[in-house]
Amino acid sequence: MTNSTPIAGRIVNSYWVLAALLILGLLSGCGNRFEEQLRGTHQQVKTNIDHLKTQLDNKQLTNALLIKKYRRDRCVHFAVFAVTIFEDEGSDNMIFESHAHYDDEQFGSDREAILKKVRDSGVGCIINAASSMNSSRISLELAKSHEIIYTSVGVHPHDVQDMKESDLEILLAMTAFDKVVAIGEIGLDYYYDTAPREIQKLWFREQIKLAVDLDLPVIIHSREAAQDTFDILHEGNAHSVGGVIHCFSGSVEMAKRYVDLGYYLGIGGVVTFKNAKKITQVVEVIPLDRLLIETDAPYLAPVPYRGKRNDSSHLAEVIAKIAEIKGITPEEVEKVTWENGQRLFRL
Protein backbone atom coordinates (compact mmCIF):
# COMPACT_ATOMS: atom_id res chain seq x y z
CA MET A 1 0.00 0.00 0.00
CA THR A 2 2.94 2.32 0.64
CA ASN A 3 3.61 2.69 -3.07
CA SER A 4 0.05 3.36 -4.13
CA THR A 5 -0.31 6.77 -2.46
CA PRO A 6 2.42 8.56 -4.44
CA ILE A 7 1.08 7.02 -7.66
CA ALA A 8 -2.46 8.07 -6.87
CA GLY A 9 -1.08 11.53 -6.10
CA ARG A 10 0.77 11.69 -9.40
CA ILE A 11 -2.25 10.50 -11.36
CA VAL A 12 -4.53 13.03 -9.68
CA ASN A 13 -1.90 15.71 -10.27
CA SER A 14 -1.57 14.66 -13.88
CA TYR A 15 -5.32 15.07 -14.39
CA TRP A 16 -5.07 18.64 -13.08
CA VAL A 17 -2.12 19.26 -15.40
CA LEU A 18 -4.04 17.76 -18.34
CA ALA A 19 -7.09 19.87 -17.56
CA ALA A 20 -4.94 23.02 -17.34
CA LEU A 21 -3.22 22.13 -20.62
CA LEU A 22 -6.56 21.57 -22.29
CA ILE A 23 -7.77 25.05 -21.31
CA LEU A 24 -4.45 26.64 -22.33
CA GLY A 25 -4.53 24.77 -25.65
CA LEU A 26 -8.07 25.89 -26.39
CA LEU A 27 -7.32 29.51 -25.44
CA SER A 28 -4.17 29.77 -27.52
CA GLY A 29 -5.64 27.76 -30.41
CA CYS A 30 -2.31 26.08 -31.09
CA GLY A 31 -3.40 22.46 -31.54
CA ASN A 32 0.01 21.00 -32.29
CA ARG A 33 1.82 22.53 -29.36
CA PHE A 34 -0.98 21.44 -27.05
CA GLU A 35 -0.68 17.89 -28.32
CA GLU A 36 3.08 17.95 -27.70
CA GLN A 37 2.57 19.18 -24.14
CA LEU A 38 0.00 16.51 -23.54
CA ARG A 39 2.34 13.80 -24.74
CA GLY A 40 5.11 15.22 -22.53
CA THR A 41 2.89 14.97 -19.46
CA HIS A 42 1.83 11.47 -20.38
CA GLN A 43 5.49 10.45 -20.84
CA GLN A 44 6.33 11.84 -17.41
CA VAL A 45 3.61 9.77 -15.72
CA LYS A 46 4.58 6.68 -17.69
CA THR A 47 8.26 7.10 -16.69
CA ASN A 48 7.30 7.30 -13.03
CA ILE A 49 5.22 4.16 -13.30
CA ASP A 50 7.92 2.28 -15.24
CA HIS A 51 10.38 3.23 -12.50
CA LEU A 52 8.05 1.79 -9.85
CA LYS A 53 7.58 -1.39 -11.86
CA THR A 54 11.36 -1.85 -12.15
CA GLN A 55 11.63 -1.50 -8.39
CA LEU A 56 8.97 -4.19 -7.99
CA ASP A 57 10.65 -6.49 -10.51
CA ASN A 58 13.99 -6.23 -8.76
CA LYS A 59 12.64 -7.65 -5.52
CA GLN A 60 12.94 -11.33 -4.72
CA LEU A 61 9.32 -12.41 -4.70
CA THR A 62 7.84 -15.59 -3.30
CA ASN A 63 4.97 -17.28 -5.12
CA ALA A 64 2.44 -15.84 -2.71
CA LEU A 65 3.79 -12.37 -3.34
CA LEU A 66 3.74 -12.98 -7.10
CA ILE A 67 -0.06 -12.82 -7.14
CA LYS A 68 -0.04 -9.74 -4.94
CA LYS A 69 2.49 -8.05 -7.18
CA TYR A 70 0.49 -8.99 -10.24
CA ARG A 71 -2.65 -7.39 -8.83
CA ARG A 72 -0.70 -4.26 -7.94
CA ASP A 73 0.77 -4.12 -11.45
CA ARG A 74 -2.72 -4.35 -12.86
CA CYS A 75 -3.60 -1.20 -10.89
CA VAL A 76 -0.53 0.43 -12.38
CA HIS A 77 -1.65 -0.70 -15.83
CA PHE A 78 -5.01 0.86 -15.23
CA ALA A 79 -3.31 4.12 -14.30
CA VAL A 80 -1.31 4.03 -17.55
CA PHE A 81 -4.49 3.25 -19.44
CA ALA A 82 -6.28 6.23 -17.88
CA VAL A 83 -3.60 8.54 -19.25
CA THR A 84 -3.18 6.65 -22.52
CA ILE A 85 -6.71 7.49 -23.62
CA PHE A 86 -5.24 10.85 -24.64
CA GLU A 87 -2.86 9.13 -27.01
CA ASP A 88 -3.72 7.78 -30.48
CA GLU A 89 -1.93 4.44 -30.38
CA GLY A 90 -2.58 3.57 -26.73
CA SER A 91 -2.58 -0.11 -25.83
CA ASP A 92 -2.99 -2.04 -22.60
CA ASN A 93 -3.02 -5.70 -21.65
CA MET A 94 -6.46 -7.09 -21.08
CA ILE A 95 -7.70 -10.49 -20.02
CA PHE A 96 -9.46 -12.74 -22.51
CA GLU A 97 -12.05 -14.95 -20.83
CA SER A 98 -12.56 -17.77 -23.32
CA HIS A 99 -15.32 -19.71 -21.56
CA ALA A 100 -17.97 -18.60 -19.07
CA HIS A 101 -21.70 -19.13 -18.55
CA TYR A 102 -23.19 -15.79 -17.55
CA ASP A 103 -26.56 -17.02 -18.78
CA ASP A 104 -26.54 -19.48 -15.86
CA GLU A 105 -29.31 -19.03 -13.30
CA GLN A 106 -26.68 -18.75 -10.55
CA PHE A 107 -26.15 -15.20 -11.86
CA GLY A 108 -29.88 -14.50 -11.89
CA SER A 109 -29.93 -12.05 -8.99
CA ASP A 110 -26.70 -10.08 -9.45
CA ARG A 111 -25.53 -10.59 -13.05
CA GLU A 112 -24.93 -6.90 -13.81
CA ALA A 113 -23.00 -6.30 -10.59
CA ILE A 114 -20.79 -9.33 -11.26
CA LEU A 115 -20.14 -8.26 -14.86
CA LYS A 116 -19.12 -4.83 -13.63
CA LYS A 117 -16.73 -6.42 -11.13
CA VAL A 118 -15.36 -8.61 -13.94
CA ARG A 119 -14.77 -5.59 -16.22
CA ASP A 120 -13.11 -3.68 -13.39
CA SER A 121 -10.74 -6.60 -12.82
CA GLY A 122 -9.25 -6.12 -16.30
CA VAL A 123 -11.28 -8.59 -18.36
CA GLY A 124 -11.74 -7.04 -21.80
CA CYS A 125 -13.51 -9.83 -23.65
CA ILE A 126 -15.75 -12.73 -22.65
CA ILE A 127 -16.87 -15.65 -24.76
CA ASN A 128 -20.14 -16.79 -23.23
CA ALA A 129 -20.45 -20.50 -23.98
CA ALA A 130 -24.04 -21.55 -24.62
CA SER A 131 -25.12 -25.00 -23.43
CA SER A 132 -28.72 -25.56 -24.58
CA MET A 133 -31.24 -24.05 -26.99
CA ASN A 134 -32.55 -21.80 -24.25
CA SER A 135 -29.07 -20.87 -23.06
CA SER A 136 -28.16 -20.00 -26.69
CA ARG A 137 -31.09 -17.56 -26.77
CA ILE A 138 -30.13 -15.94 -23.45
CA SER A 139 -26.44 -15.78 -24.44
CA LEU A 140 -27.38 -13.98 -27.62
CA GLU A 141 -29.28 -11.37 -25.60
CA LEU A 142 -26.30 -10.95 -23.27
CA ALA A 143 -24.00 -10.37 -26.25
CA LYS A 144 -26.43 -7.81 -27.63
CA SER A 145 -26.57 -5.86 -24.38
CA HIS A 146 -22.90 -6.06 -23.26
CA GLU A 147 -20.08 -4.75 -25.38
CA ILE A 148 -17.42 -7.15 -24.04
CA ILE A 149 -19.54 -10.31 -24.39
CA TYR A 150 -19.43 -12.50 -27.48
CA THR A 151 -21.24 -15.79 -27.64
CA SER A 152 -21.36 -19.26 -29.05
CA VAL A 153 -24.55 -21.13 -29.81
CA GLY A 154 -24.97 -24.87 -29.45
CA VAL A 155 -26.16 -27.74 -27.29
CA HIS A 156 -24.00 -29.38 -24.59
CA PRO A 157 -23.94 -33.22 -24.43
CA HIS A 158 -25.97 -33.01 -21.19
CA ASP A 159 -28.84 -31.45 -23.13
CA VAL A 160 -28.93 -33.29 -26.46
CA GLN A 161 -31.51 -35.86 -25.36
CA ASP A 162 -34.43 -33.79 -26.68
CA MET A 163 -32.64 -32.09 -29.56
CA LYS A 164 -34.55 -31.94 -32.86
CA GLU A 165 -33.62 -31.44 -36.49
CA SER A 166 -35.39 -28.07 -36.42
CA ASP A 167 -33.07 -26.92 -33.60
CA LEU A 168 -30.19 -26.95 -36.08
CA GLU A 169 -32.12 -24.47 -38.22
CA ILE A 170 -32.70 -22.24 -35.20
CA LEU A 171 -28.99 -22.36 -34.32
CA LEU A 172 -28.18 -21.54 -37.94
CA ALA A 173 -30.50 -18.53 -37.84
CA MET A 174 -28.87 -17.32 -34.61
CA THR A 175 -25.44 -17.27 -36.23
CA ALA A 176 -26.62 -14.42 -38.46
CA PHE A 177 -25.90 -12.11 -35.52
CA ASP A 178 -22.28 -10.98 -35.82
CA LYS A 179 -21.40 -11.49 -32.14
CA VAL A 180 -22.00 -15.24 -32.49
CA VAL A 181 -18.40 -16.35 -32.93
CA ALA A 182 -18.45 -20.14 -32.38
CA ILE A 183 -20.53 -23.29 -32.17
CA GLY A 184 -20.46 -24.75 -28.64
CA GLU A 185 -20.20 -26.01 -26.21
CA ILE A 186 -20.65 -29.32 -27.95
CA GLY A 187 -19.09 -32.73 -27.37
CA LEU A 188 -19.29 -35.92 -25.38
CA ASP A 189 -19.65 -36.57 -21.67
CA TYR A 190 -19.24 -40.24 -20.68
CA TYR A 191 -18.84 -39.31 -17.00
CA TYR A 192 -22.43 -38.18 -16.49
CA ASP A 193 -23.90 -40.00 -19.51
CA THR A 194 -27.00 -37.78 -19.22
CA ALA A 195 -27.99 -38.81 -22.75
CA PRO A 196 -27.26 -42.22 -24.38
CA ARG A 197 -23.83 -42.20 -26.05
CA GLU A 198 -25.22 -42.80 -29.55
CA ILE A 199 -27.47 -39.74 -29.17
CA GLN A 200 -24.53 -37.67 -27.91
CA LYS A 201 -22.43 -38.72 -30.90
CA LEU A 202 -25.23 -38.02 -33.38
CA TRP A 203 -25.74 -34.40 -32.26
CA PHE A 204 -22.03 -33.83 -31.80
CA ARG A 205 -21.52 -34.79 -35.46
CA GLU A 206 -24.44 -32.65 -36.63
CA GLN A 207 -23.23 -29.58 -34.77
CA ILE A 208 -19.67 -30.02 -36.07
CA LYS A 209 -21.15 -30.13 -39.57
CA LEU A 210 -23.00 -26.89 -38.87
CA ALA A 211 -19.75 -25.23 -37.68
CA VAL A 212 -17.80 -26.40 -40.72
CA ASP A 213 -20.58 -25.28 -43.11
CA LEU A 214 -20.63 -21.85 -41.44
CA ASP A 215 -16.84 -21.64 -41.05
CA LEU A 216 -17.14 -21.03 -37.30
CA PRO A 217 -14.71 -22.44 -34.68
CA VAL A 218 -15.95 -25.03 -32.18
CA ILE A 219 -15.91 -25.05 -28.36
CA ILE A 220 -15.52 -28.65 -27.25
CA HIS A 221 -16.63 -30.35 -24.04
CA SER A 222 -15.08 -33.78 -23.53
CA ARG A 223 -15.20 -35.79 -20.34
CA GLU A 224 -13.94 -39.36 -20.13
CA ALA A 225 -14.48 -39.57 -23.88
CA ALA A 226 -11.05 -38.54 -25.17
CA GLN A 227 -10.68 -41.00 -28.05
CA ASP A 228 -14.26 -40.71 -29.37
CA THR A 229 -14.09 -36.91 -29.17
CA PHE A 230 -10.84 -36.84 -31.12
CA ASP A 231 -12.11 -39.30 -33.75
CA ILE A 232 -15.41 -37.48 -34.34
CA LEU A 233 -13.68 -34.09 -34.61
CA HIS A 234 -11.21 -35.62 -37.05
CA GLU A 235 -13.85 -37.34 -39.20
CA GLY A 236 -15.88 -34.12 -39.26
CA ASN A 237 -12.85 -32.12 -40.43
CA ALA A 238 -13.39 -29.72 -37.51
CA HIS A 239 -9.72 -28.66 -37.50
CA SER A 240 -10.47 -26.80 -40.75
CA VAL A 241 -12.43 -24.24 -38.69
CA GLY A 242 -10.33 -24.51 -35.50
CA GLY A 243 -11.53 -24.67 -31.96
CA VAL A 244 -10.75 -25.03 -28.30
CA ILE A 245 -10.83 -28.12 -26.11
CA HIS A 246 -12.47 -26.50 -23.13
CA CYS A 247 -11.21 -27.40 -19.64
CA PHE A 248 -8.64 -29.73 -21.13
CA SER A 249 -8.06 -32.70 -18.83
CA GLY A 250 -6.27 -35.22 -21.06
CA SER A 251 -2.70 -36.46 -21.27
CA VAL A 252 0.29 -34.63 -22.72
CA GLU A 253 0.13 -36.98 -25.72
CA MET A 254 -3.51 -36.12 -26.42
CA ALA A 255 -2.73 -32.42 -25.95
CA LYS A 256 0.00 -32.64 -28.57
CA ARG A 257 -2.31 -34.39 -31.03
CA TYR A 258 -4.89 -31.60 -30.71
CA VAL A 259 -2.27 -28.87 -30.94
CA ASP A 260 -0.75 -30.49 -34.03
CA LEU A 261 -4.16 -30.16 -35.69
CA GLY A 262 -4.32 -26.47 -34.75
CA TYR A 263 -6.67 -26.61 -31.74
CA TYR A 264 -6.26 -24.53 -28.61
CA LEU A 265 -6.48 -25.94 -25.09
CA GLY A 266 -8.64 -24.20 -22.46
CA ILE A 267 -6.93 -23.93 -19.06
CA GLY A 268 -9.03 -22.99 -16.05
CA GLY A 269 -9.24 -23.19 -12.26
CA VAL A 270 -8.27 -26.89 -12.15
CA VAL A 271 -4.63 -25.90 -12.81
CA THR A 272 -4.55 -24.24 -9.35
CA PHE A 273 -5.75 -27.39 -7.54
CA LYS A 274 -3.23 -29.26 -5.41
CA ASN A 275 -3.37 -32.55 -7.32
CA ALA A 276 -3.38 -31.04 -10.80
CA LYS A 277 -0.32 -33.00 -11.95
CA LYS A 278 -1.57 -33.92 -15.42
CA ILE A 279 -2.69 -30.44 -16.41
CA THR A 280 0.49 -28.92 -14.94
CA GLN A 281 2.53 -31.16 -17.27
CA VAL A 282 0.37 -30.11 -20.21
CA VAL A 283 0.89 -26.40 -19.41
CA GLU A 284 4.63 -27.04 -19.10
CA VAL A 285 4.94 -28.74 -22.47
CA ILE A 286 2.40 -26.99 -24.73
CA PRO A 287 3.52 -23.60 -26.13
CA LEU A 288 1.72 -20.58 -24.69
CA ASP A 289 0.43 -19.60 -28.12
CA ARG A 290 -1.88 -22.67 -28.06
CA LEU A 291 -3.43 -22.00 -24.63
CA LEU A 292 -6.55 -20.07 -23.73
CA ILE A 293 -7.60 -19.13 -20.22
CA GLU A 294 -11.12 -19.73 -18.94
CA THR A 295 -13.18 -19.93 -15.78
CA ASP A 296 -16.20 -22.02 -16.80
CA ALA A 297 -18.00 -19.63 -14.40
CA PRO A 298 -20.05 -20.21 -12.29
CA TYR A 299 -18.25 -23.57 -11.99
CA LEU A 300 -14.68 -24.69 -11.22
CA ALA A 301 -13.47 -21.75 -9.13
CA PRO A 302 -9.69 -21.68 -8.69
CA VAL A 303 -7.89 -21.84 -5.33
CA PRO A 304 -8.49 -19.93 -3.01
CA TYR A 305 -12.15 -19.67 -4.11
CA ARG A 306 -12.59 -23.41 -4.69
CA GLY A 307 -16.17 -24.55 -4.07
CA LYS A 308 -17.59 -21.04 -4.34
CA ARG A 309 -19.40 -19.49 -7.29
CA ASN A 310 -16.81 -18.62 -9.90
CA ASP A 311 -16.57 -15.48 -12.05
CA SER A 312 -14.04 -14.11 -14.53
CA SER A 313 -12.36 -11.79 -12.00
CA HIS A 314 -10.73 -14.96 -10.63
CA LEU A 315 -8.78 -15.46 -13.85
CA ALA A 316 -5.87 -13.65 -12.17
CA GLU A 317 -5.26 -16.86 -10.17
CA VAL A 318 -5.17 -18.98 -13.33
CA ILE A 319 -2.84 -16.50 -15.05
CA ALA A 320 -0.49 -16.42 -12.06
CA LYS A 321 -0.37 -20.23 -11.94
CA ILE A 322 0.38 -20.61 -15.65
CA ALA A 323 3.10 -17.95 -15.30
CA GLU A 324 4.59 -19.85 -12.37
CA ILE A 325 4.59 -23.18 -14.25
CA LYS A 326 6.12 -21.67 -17.37
CA GLY A 327 8.56 -19.40 -15.51
CA ILE A 328 7.34 -16.23 -17.25
CA THR A 329 5.52 -13.10 -16.12
CA PRO A 330 1.74 -12.98 -15.66
CA GLU A 331 1.70 -10.06 -18.10
CA GLU A 332 3.15 -12.31 -20.79
CA VAL A 333 0.45 -14.93 -20.13
CA GLU A 334 -2.23 -12.27 -20.28
CA LYS A 335 -0.89 -10.74 -23.50
CA VAL A 336 -0.41 -14.00 -25.43
CA THR A 337 -3.72 -15.58 -24.34
CA TRP A 338 -5.47 -12.35 -25.36
CA GLU A 339 -3.93 -12.62 -28.83
CA ASN A 340 -4.84 -16.33 -28.98
CA GLY A 341 -8.49 -15.60 -28.19
CA GLN A 342 -8.68 -12.81 -30.75
CA ARG A 343 -7.14 -15.10 -33.38
CA LEU A 344 -9.31 -18.16 -32.73
CA PHE A 345 -12.62 -16.28 -32.54
CA ARG A 346 -11.57 -13.85 -35.32
CA LEU A 347 -12.38 -10.70 -33.39
DSSP string, 37-95: HHHHHHHHHHHHHHHHHHHHHHS---HHHHHHHHHHHHHHHHHHHHHHTTSTT-----E
Using CB atoms within 10 Å of the CB of residue 306, give its burial: 0 to 12 exposed, 13 to 18 middle, 19+ buried: middle
> Please, what is the minimum distance in Å from the beta carbon of residue 201 to Ni ion?
19
Side chain identity at 57, as an amino acid letter?
A: D
Q: What is the largest CA-CA distance in the chain?
A: 76
Would you say 296 or 311 has its CB closer to Ni ion?
296
Instruction: Considering only residues 177 through 236, tell me which ones interact with Ni ion, judged by CB under 5 A.
Output: none
Tell the smallest beta-carbon distance from residue 103 to Ni ion (Å).
11
CA dist 100 to 282, 304, 308, Å? Answer: 22, 19, 15
Interface with Ni ion by CB under 5 A: which range of 37-45, 76-84, 115-123, 288-296?
288-296
CA 332 from chain center: how many Å? 14
CA atoms within 13 A on the CB side of 106: 12
What DSSP character marks residue 297? B
Q: Residue 30: CB partners within 8 Å, gap ≥ 6?
A: none
Ranges within 295-314 binding Ni ion (CB under 5 A)? 296
Single out the residue of 248, 299, 306 nearest to residue 273, CA to CA.
306
Residue 206 or 296: which CB sits closer to Ni ion? 296
The CB-nearest residue to Ni ion is 296
Q: How far is the CB of 100 from Ni ion (least distance, A)?
A: 8
Q: Measured from the CB atom, is 224 or 284 closer to Ni ion?
A: 224
Least distance from C-beta 99 to Ni ion, angstroms?
A: 6
Size of the site for Ni ion (CB under 5 A): 1
Between 106 and 329, CB nearer to Ni ion = 106
Minimum CB distance to Ni ion, residue 152 (Å): 10
How many CB atoms within 10 Å of residue 157? 28
**How far apart are CB 40 and Ni ion at their closest, in Å?**
48
Judged by beta carbon, residue 103 or residue 296, the one nearer Ni ion is: 296
Nearer to Ni ion, 296 or 334 (CB): 296
**Window contacting Ni ion (CB under 5 A); options: 48-56, 71-79, 292-300, 325-333:** 292-300
Return residues touching Ni ion (CB under 5 A).
Answer: 296
